[in-house]
Structure 1
Amino acid sequence: MSRTRSVASTQPAVHRRTVLATAGAAAASAGIGYALRPTDSQAATATTGAAEAPVARTVHQAAAPAEAPLAPYTRGTTVASIAAPRTSSGYRRLGDGPGWSRKVRSDLAAPKSGRAGRRTSLAAFVQFTDLHLMDSQHPARLEYLRSTDVHAWRPQEALTVPGAISLVERVNALRGGPVTGAPLQFAMTTGDNTDNNSHTELDWFLTVMSGGRITPNSGDPRHYEGVQNSGLNQYWQPDSTTRDNDKRLGFPHLKGYLAAAIREVNSPGLNIPWYSTVGNHDSLPLGCFGHGDSWLAEYAVGGKKLMSLPASEAKKLQDTIRKASDPQGHHFRDFLKAHARSMRSVTPDERRAPYTARDYLKAHLDPAYRGVGPVGHGYSTANLDAGTQYYSFRIADDVIGISLDTTDPGGHYQGSIGAAQLRWLDRTLRENKDSFAVVFSHHTSDSMDNLRRDPAHPGERRYGGADVVALLASHSNVLAWVNGHIHRNVITAHAAPDGRSFWEISTASHIDFPHLARIIELVDNKDGTISVFTTLVESAAPHRTDFTDLSQTGLAALYRELAYNAPGSSNKLGGGAVDRNTELVLKKG
């Protein structure tokens, strides 16, 4: 039987965690999970003004599995095994490597003995982040910056779709939380779901998550048109025998690779509800330029593409982007016009057009992308009416989730939030003080230093990561802030002087090796402490690749291996042992 309760009500909350903790644990052990499916009318009536975001209000029971999951388990997680090199030099082939053990972190509270026998489950869910589903043939891409920064283009970029599908397959095969066995209640994507803010990519992302067939191609439907069949030595030319710069490093000649990379694939879609959080690459063209320049919008769908640039000129453009001195892209527009004679012809495609925040919301609400739900994947028509991309939802009887929009419409890839959203966050936490809270965003606290004003709200102040940390630390019910953006596993303890504390959990991307998602489990240790368990998972693709296997699964495996070998890639993105598989202990507020 479902329960309905207002998350935004000014009346005392009826879901008292001191009363329901035992009941929630019993429900979890019986195979019952909770997923939220907000309706338009509920979301609309939960707002108080145009600047407010909707709050979902209905809790539904998920169907119990046929068999109770076994706990604990390690198979299919990085506790059991992680992709690791099995050759020692040159292009390194991958195979099964030893797993990462679980580390207990006591930065915020001392773990008490016997807690494993006492603990009860509060919630269990999965985090995806930085999928960067990529139209690798898009005219606006900045591949030519590779002449000054080798990491500006990656050899694996044409395979983001089969790689993401394989991650969905992994989650579908999991037997609940690996520590508690509790059913996984939902998956949350914490932004940069797409790469170039392109309609093609948005369709691919929503189909990967909700299920269906995808042809990861644009432009000419018959063949690939991009840097990987350009004949330019600075890019891996897989189908050619040309000894390009990457082949000199050992990258293989794979005849038929490009045809396979743009071939139709099929996603089963997640078998659990999923929610969406927006990132800078979802909001801004190329993740850094504001909307509004009509010439750039036309260039995105047009028939010309710049593929090469001298290193000195590439360095100037890259510095301009990094310094955020061209947030609206006007310099970028003039730069492209100046290099028009160096561009190559490609097939125009209107589907590559940049999408707006309103387009993003409408696509999530489209019944074609519903999957197993919820409708809108957290967003609602109230978001459309208010022009917002933040919301809250009920994870379980005793836990609320809050999804923030940390992108800055003024431009640049770093983040911040507006004053209206900060007030809404504070109010939502206060009105749900009897529920534990998990906050989701794209940006980390350290990457929220872009205080550029929103052109649509020039009088509104923007707030950075330190302000958000201070606000969250002022509420004793906040357990965790879960985010991405930096493409690296980092777990940070935040403690306030009065003893209030929470964990910030940043997870590596699924575009750069090691290609991870994270399972997060919340438990009450029944001793005055809470534990947050984090367990990383890879995609379902095998660690070993076979260069003759260009099937959907074979491409997903190759995606990982190419990313491992990508020139300029970092071996630090997996983080240290204390940032991977962990038990994070904190005092119960």
Structure 2
Amino acid sequence: MSRIRSVATSAAGVNRRTVLAAAGAVSLSAGVGYALRPAGGEAVAAAEEPVAHGGRASAAAPLAPYTKGTTLASVAAPRNSSGYRRLGDGPGWKRVVRDELAAPKAGRAGRRRTLAAFVQFTDMHLTDVQHPLRAEFVRAADPHAWRPQEALTVQGAIAFVERVNALRGGPVTGAPLHFVMTTGDNTDNNALCELEWYMKVMSGGRFTPNSGDPAHYEGVQNSGLKLYWQPGSALRDNDKALGFPHLDGFLAAAIREVRSPGLKLPWYSTVGNHDMLQLGVYGSHGDPYLAEAAIGGRKLMTVTAAEARKFRDTNKNARDPRGAGYRDFLKAHARAMRSVTPDEKRAPYTPADYLKAHLDPAHQGVGPVGHGYSSANLDAGTQYYSFRVSDDVIGISLDTNDAGGHFEGSLGTAQLNWLDRTLKDNKDSYAVVFSHHTSKTMTNTRPDPARPGERRHTGEELVALLSRHRNVLAWVNGHVHKNIITPHAASGGRSFWEISTASHIDHPQLARVIELADNKDGTLSVFTTLIESAAPHRTDFADLSQTGLAALYRELSFNAPGASKTFGGKAADRNTELVLKKG
């Protein structure tokens, strides 16, 4: 078995630590009721004590395949047809077999051998909703530029951790879940406080998702502005006119202390544009004025619709990648700003800060050390790496962000060459590639200020590289907040599937379980199963507990004005079996 090449060095110590931690994921996960046969890797049910009923032993129920806790069994669905729609238990989504890249063969379920199983989190957008730099005012031109559910991102993310902790292996194969991978936009405003919340959501702990005044919320939701949902006010705001409820105590509950149990699985991290760039847009931490404004005591909450539209279009079309235009925009509206409590915890964090947080022993949880990142990344100033998933599979986490600014991505030549070498060095292992951006959103080739002479490469070029390697099974990503599964057929080589998963913040708020299997008939199968958070589908407006808020988070996202109704994707983008030819 070939060694795994580290991100910036081949230091054996770093590799061995990562490999051992990843290998430990199998033994940790084996406690869910499955073990691996030494000879083949097939999942087998662990023995259970028989239970006597009337003097007869009852047969143990098989643990896999199973549907409970997944969208195969049930999906949140509206209970009424108009106005603000309350959610309840809806029918599940069936599994669809995709045969664009290979024909499925009969009897494969009885032959298959499990290669790996893991969970993808993506686009959690853990949000400091009181942050002075947030551009909520764009809602004057675009209703979805601010979302009523944003104050509950932390409670919603913890409910996803609870869901994964309750899963009993892969829903199809029953194999132990090896790890959880986040594919970026783990935070929203590139703020230090959000980074701390993310680390504690994933690894466990108690914390307060609040900034500024420790006792009171200070933001757009108690501003008295009709532009935003004012849950505790008698004001008939624009959202209440659409049926949004009056909820006394909502804001106090949203910034109350929470507890995350932390994942019971090892977890790895991939960086997204909102984790690297201020507001997910402004490169190299933008203008120094913005860094000072982030921790300061003034916040702009409203502008005219025309000004909001101009600001939105400027950022959408990448006309202000460094934030100089935003600086001037804020200065021009200084008199319209409102006072908030300054807080240094809102300062923008650097790539080095991101790496140090992952390497901090306080955030290790069940591991691995660094959650994929190593001291080699810190020394080299890189945020990409590879790791051993199982005997037959490696994982590769890419950094597709462009430090030059703008929310779309690309890869530098050094990273592209590293990826090519890593795939060659591990040609005897299957590979799963992780990134934040999708192939179609890697169109930003703006130079990296730290490497101005380095060429940037598009998603089309990355697809071409992956297609040249017969060991690549899947490219797993996020960014677009939508379920999309795309086949990439390689001429003269093996094919792979690109799996893009919906976000945790916008409806339908999903994560994805992915299982890899060798069908022992010349084909491979990649199974994808979507999961919702552990929060109940039905909400209770009187229940402002952590769980009650997580349920409300989902319902608010369903009703958010301006939200896309297509993020769930088509049936063939949800629960699937993706068939491949074996290389």
Q: Secondary structure at the match of 1:145?
A: helix
- Counterpart in 1 of 2:168? 175
Matches of residues 121-270 of structure 1 in structure 2 within 5 Å?
A: 121-270=114-263
- 1:104 to 2:91 alignment: no
Q: Which amino acid aligns with 2:254?
A: A
Query: Which of residues 46, 70, 76 in structure 2 aligns to 1:83?
Result: 76
Counterpart CA distance in 1 for 2:476 and 2:3 is 24
Q: Determine the C-alpha separation between the residues in 1 that align with 2:209 and 2:493.
A: 50
- Counterpart of 1:427 (choices 421, 426, 433) is 421
Q: Does 1:529 align with 2:502?
A: no
Q: In structure 1, how many angstroms separate the alpha carbons of the residues matched to 2:260 and 2:452?
A: 42
| Corresponding letter in the other structure for 2:362 | A
Tell whether 2:29 aligns with 1:6: no
Equivalent residue for 1:24? none
Q: Which amino acid aligns with 1:408?
A: D
The 1-side partners of 2:369 and 2:352 are apart by: 16
Alpha-carbon displacement from aligned partner over 1:85-109 (angstroms, at most 9, x marks no partner): 0011100000000000000000000
Q: Could you tell me which residue of structure 1 aligns to residue 556 of structure 2?
A: 562
Alignment match, 1:510 = 504
Q: Is the 8 A contact 1:479 1:501 kept in 2?
A: yes
Q: What amino acid maps onto 2:231 in structure 1?
A: P
Code of the residue aligned with 1:62 in structure 2: it is S
The one-letter amino acid paired with 1:379 is Y
SS, match of residue 286 in structure 1 = coil
Q: Aligned partners of 1:43, 1:101: CA distance in 2, in Å? A: 39
Deviations 1:224-281 (A, max 9, x none): 0000000000100000111000000000000000000000010000000000000000
Letter paired with 2:432: V
Against the structure 1 CA distance between its residues 183 and 229, is the aligned structure 2 distance closer, same or farther, given a 3 Å change threshold?
same
Query: Partner of 1:345 in structure 2?
Result: 339
> Could you state the TM-score of these two structures normalised by the residue count of structure 1?
0.92
Residues 1:116 and 2:82 aligned together:
no
Letter matched to residue 10 of structure 2:
A
1:454 aligned to 2:448? Answer: yes
CA distance in structure 1 between the aligned counterparts of 2:421 and 2:144, rounded to whole angstroms: 42
Q: Select the residue among 59, 62, 78 that pairs with 2:27.
A: 62
Shift of 1:55: 9.9
Change (3 A) 1:54 1:232: farther
The answer to whether the Cα contact below 8 Å between 2:393 and 2:431 also exists between their aligned partners in 1 is yes
Aligned in 2, Cα 1:144/1:585: closer, same or farther, shift over 3 Å?
Answer: same
* Cα-Cα RMSD: 1.6
Residue identity over aligned pairs, in percent, reads 73
Moved more, 200-209 or 291-300: 291-300
In the alignment, which residue of structure 1 is the partner of 2:409?
415
**Which residue in 2 is equivalent to 1:283?**
276
Distance 1:484 1:311 in 2: 30
Does the CA-based 8 Å contact 1:179-1:533 persist in structure 2?
A: yes
Which residue in 1 is equivalent to 2:38? none
The partner residue of 1:445 within 416, 428, 439 is: 439
Give the alignment partner of residue 580 of structure 2, picking from 574, 586, 589: 586
Q: Give the Å deviation of 1:6.
A: 1.9
Q: Which residue of 1 aligns with 2:489?
A: 495
Q: Give the secondary-structure state (helix, strand or coil) at the position aligned to 1:285.
A: coil
SS at match of 2:232: coil
- How far residue 496 of structure 1 moved from its aligned partner, in angstroms, is 1.3
Q: Does the 8 Å contact 2:286/2:324 carry over to 1?
A: no
The answer as to 2:533 corresponding to 1:539 is yes
Q: Which amino acid aligns with 1:165?
A: I
Listed as ranges, the gaps of 5+ residues in structure 2 are: 35-44, 46-62
Change (3 A) 1:129 1:347: same
Amino acid at match of 1:67: G
CA–CA separation in structure 2 for the residues paired with 1:524 and 1:156: 41
Residues 55 and 392 of structure 1 are in contact (CA less than 8 Å); yes or no, is this contact kept in structure 2?
no
- Partner of 2:548, secondary structure, is helix
Q: State the alpha-carbon separation in 1 of the partners of residues 395 and 214 from structure 2.
A: 41
Tell whether the 8 Å contact from 1:84 to 1:96 is kept in structure 2 after alignment: yes
Could you tell me whether the CA contact under 8 Å between 1:44 and 1:381 is conserved in 2? no
Contact 1:233 1:245 (8 Å CA) reproduced: yes
List aligned pairs for 1:306-385, cutoff 5 A: 306-385=300-379
State the shift of 1:57 in Å. 3.9
Tell me, in whole angstroms, the C-alpha distance in 2 between the residues paired with 1:189 and 1:120.
26
* Superimposed CA distance per residue, residues 163-188 of structure 1 (whole angstroms, 9 cap, x where no aligned partner): 00000000000010000000101000
Check whether the contact 1:481–1:502 (CA below 8 A) recurs between aligned residues: yes
- Assess if the C-alpha contact under 8 Å between 2:182 and 2:270 holds in 1: yes
**Is the contact made by 2:384 and 2:397 (CA closer than 8 Å) also made in structure 1?**
yes
Partner AA of 1:286 in structure 2? L
- SS at the partner of 2:182? strand
Distance 1:53 1:310 in 2: 54
Query: Could you tell me which amino acid in structure 1 is paired with residue 334 of structure 2?
Result: A
Tell me the CA shift for residue 47 of structure 1. 5.8
Q: Cα distance, 1:56 vs. partner?
A: 4.2
Tell me if structure 1 keeps the 8 A contact 2:197–2:207.
Answer: yes
Aligned counterparts of 2:576 and 2:11: Cα–Cα separation in 1: 37
Identify unmatched segments of 5+ residues in structure 1: 9-41
For residue 498 of structure 1, report the CA deviation from its aligned partner: 1.3
Q: Deviations over 1:305-353 (max 9, x none)?
A: 0000100001111111001011000011011001000000000000000
Q: Measure how far apart 1:67 and its partner are.
A: 3.4
Whether the 8 Å contact between 1:235 and 1:244 is mirrored in structure 2 is: yes
Question: Structure 1 CA distance, aligned partners of 2:394 and 2:152?
Answer: 35
Give the conservation status (yes or no) of the 8 Å contact 1:394–1:400: yes
Assess if the C-alpha contact under 8 Å between 1:128 and 1:518 holds in 2: yes
Secondary structure, counterpart of 1:522 in structure 2: strand
Report the 3-state secondary structure (helix = DSSP H, G, I; strand = E; otherwise coil) of the residue aligned with 1:405.
Answer: coil
Amino acid at match of 1:177: G
Q: TM-score w.r.t. structure 2 length?
A: 0.93
2:468–2:493 contact (8 Å) kept in structure 1: no
Q: Give the letter aligned to residue 577 of structure 1.
A: A
Residue 305 of structure 1 corresponds to which residue in structure 2? 299
